[in-house]
Chains A and B, each alone.
Chain A
């Protein structure tokens, strides 16, 4: 029993998700933070995207010090 994803898998997932969220937060209407019928807190969405981006950077650093 072990977790089936490697650091590079997780890194890739984090990078893709971070890009999607960052693009979404940028494309959201600047005046209302509305995307279709869903109202979201644009600022928090950006924070989440940046956190994921940082997570991706962490996986990169891990791979630098522990190359597979």
Chain B
């Protein structure tokens, strides 16, 4: 016997129609994320244009009278005007060329990094982490991976609950989970992973194709010349271990705080970036064995240990 819908049931059905399903919500979220990303891009462009405008204005102020002076020097055949014109045009061009990239104070970099380590310290305390951090290498970019294994394309650091140095299974790493069950621990993105991307962009070569000796020569030079994050960097390899010595690192103030436990596990952002680079280049897991800091924090010596691939 057919049961007629009461007015209440009808109202409920209409209300349920109005509630978005999970799929619809996900779609809406993806759409809003896309919109926000577009907005961020346009804002970045606006900032770039604003920065460029100021330098362009200065260079125009120099170039226009310079060119006029040069033209006038040809008409009047005056050497003085020619020199003035050359000078002004040259400085105008130079102002355009040497416009600065945004610079920030080095102390600001380490201060902002402190928060990250404080958060990681809380995670370590809450999850009772006892093991060392294991930098797990990513799969090379050109290797095809199915959708469910896409998480393996990024460098990660695994912090184990027990002192055993065993990384979780590929399946667990691929899912992109924060907490792993076997072995128990947490998976984090290392503090130097975005710096590694920057290194790769600057290097313009595939790090996975570099051998360890080449990396030990190229990497310190690259960091010193392009990023000026330390005054001196030395890297050498010896018996499956890599020694890194940084002098006057921009992150040295982080080591003044002896309560930051995670700093000794993950390394400062520069050390972490080096660990990520070694992991990517060798395709092996990397752990930070020791970090020795001089009393004045001027020199930081780190030993990385390579594990099985």
- Chain A contacts to B: CB under 8 angstroms: 1-5, 9-10, 13, 17, 21, 30-34, 39-41, 43-45, 48
Q: Are A41 and B106 in contact (CB under 8 A)?
A: no
A33 to B102, CA, bound (A): 11
A21 to B81, CA, bound (A): 22
A9 to B90, CA, bound (A): 15
A43 to B225, CA, bound (A): 9
Q: Is B99 an interface residue (CB 8 A)?
A: yes
Q: Is B74 an interface residue (CB 8 A)?
A: yes
B84-117 toward A: CB 8 Å interface, digit per residue (1/0)? 0010001000100111110100100000000000
The 6 closest A-B pairs by CB, nearest first: A39-B100, A40-B98, A4-B79, A4-B77, A5-B82, A4-B82
Q: Are B98 and A32 in contact (CB under 8 A)?
A: no
Query: Out of A1, A3, A4, A45, which one reaches B98, CB within 8 Å?
Result: A45
A9 to B73, CA, bound (A): 14
For A13, what are the chain B residues with a Cβ–Cβ distance below 8 Å? 83, 86
Residue of B nearest to A40 (CB): B98
Q: Which residues in chain B, 202-249, are within 8 Å of chain A measured between CB atoms?
A: 225, 228, 231
User: How many pairs of A and B residues are in contact by the CB < 8 Å rule?
Assistant: 57
Q: Which residues in chain B, 56-96, are within 8 Å of chain A measured between CB atoms?
A: 73-75, 77-79, 81-83, 86, 90, 94
Q: Are B98 and A30 in contact (CB under 8 A)?
A: no
For B103, what are the chain A residues with a Cβ–Cβ distance below 8 Å? 32-34, 39
Given contacts A39-B100, A41-B100, 11 further A-B contacts (CB under 8 A): A2-B74, A4-B79, A5-B82, A5-B83, A13-B83, A13-B86, A17-B90, A31-B106, A43-B225, A44-B98, A48-B97
With A39-B100, A45-B98: A30-B231 Cβ-Cβ less than 8 Å = yes
Q: Are A1 and B74 in contact (CB under 8 A)?
A: yes
Cβ distance B58 to chain A, nearest Cβ, rounded Å? 11
